[in-house]
Amino acid sequence: MRRIAVEEAFITADILAGWRKVLASSDVEPGFAKLGGSLLKPSAAGTQLVSNLLDIGPGRIAHMDKVGIDVEVLSLTSPGVQIFDTDMATRLAAESNDALAAAIKANPTRLAGLVAVAPQDPAAAAREIERGKKLGLCGVIINSHTRSEYLDMPRYRPILEAAEALDMPIYLHPREPGPSMVTPYLDYGLYFATWGFSAETGLHAMRLIMSGAFDRHPGLRIVLGHMGEGIPYWLKRIDNRFAMQVKIGACEKLPKRPSEYFLENFYITTAGVTDMAVLKLGLDELGVDRIMFAADFPYEDDAEAVSFMDGANVTEEQRRKIYESNAVRIFKLKV
């Protein structure tokens, strides 16, 4: 079986330069000031990370060969263009999609990729999803909030409509919490992947569910990394407490239980989690057909991710689904 990894990051030189400009400006979002500052620090580790992110050519393929990953589904690294002004964000998203499509064309059996969009202009983002599909890209990357706003808000409906109509799954990827709630996360590094990423992205997913987005868009499919950003753990309690809140009139009833939307409209990936107890929870709650392998290169050790999945205590049929056939089906991979 092939090993397909579906949350693998890259950046373009222009977006990197844009990040540096934003970091040097006075109105940088406090979470990004910390995140960008730590990722781009001129240490040996920072330099290696940046060069890994920039390389989606021969260096990336050589690395995949070394680790034993057959296919990477690439996406613009977090927070991508979502920190730029609208025009710059829209332009740089399109340019990054062109660069990604060219990289895939050069290595069509090894690479696939997701469309980056600028949610700042929802109509343009919807058009870019359509253009990205024509370029051969197989889903959409959204790096969580944009200026503390979430995709359930009515102004973002064109993005959800386009993703649904074109049958492009949205990979809802973490970033640091937005300005409206980042303050308590700024201490102890909690804005980052230790806790803040999952809190932020889990909130985003829950807002989509609770807003009725999946009643308006029943065909919309969302992918969450990191074994579902904590939501599989909470499903029973979410249903239970939601029913109680509806009963006392604290929130609107939905046609389905929250967990039903999660189990029907979401997929999860193993990105960044090499823990058999958590994989087992995912298998129990979602079933094997909704779990895909991801390594989260270059932020995580992809050799460790491969060694975990190769040795995971699952059947060979389950391993094949998680490594290969689920990704082929969910992203309609041509490779």
Name residue 72's beta-bridge partners: 5, 111
* Interacting residues with Mn ion (CB under 5 A): 7, 296
In 3D, which of 84, 82, 80, 68 has the Cα closest to residue 22?
84
| Residue 215 among the catalytic residues | no
Is there a contact between 141 and 171 (Cβ–Cβ < 8 Å)?
yes
Cβ distance to Mn ion smaller for residue 238 or 273: 273
Provide the residue type at 314 as one letter. V
CB of 230 to Mn ion, least distance (A): 15
200 vs 182: CA distance, rounded Å = 9
CB of 174 to Mn ion, least distance (A): 7
Cβ distance to Mn ion smaller for residue 7 or 128: 7
CB of 11 to Mn ion, least distance (A): 12
Angle between helices 58-67 and 44-54 (to 10 degrees): 100
Q: Which residue shows structure tokens 């021969």? A: 58
In 3D, which of 170, 179, 174, 162 has the Cα closest to residue 203?
174
Catalytic residue among 85, 121, 215, 296: 296
- The pair phi, psi for residue 140, each rounded to 5°, is -125, 140
Provide the residue type at 210 as one letter. M
136 vs 152: CA distance, rounded Å = 27
Cβ distance to Mn ion smaller for residue 176 or 296: 296
Cβ distance to Mn ion smaller for residue 90 or 269: 269
Name the residue with the smallest CB distance to Mn ion: 296
CB of 204 to Mn ion, least distance (A): 14
> Which residues carry out catalysis?
296
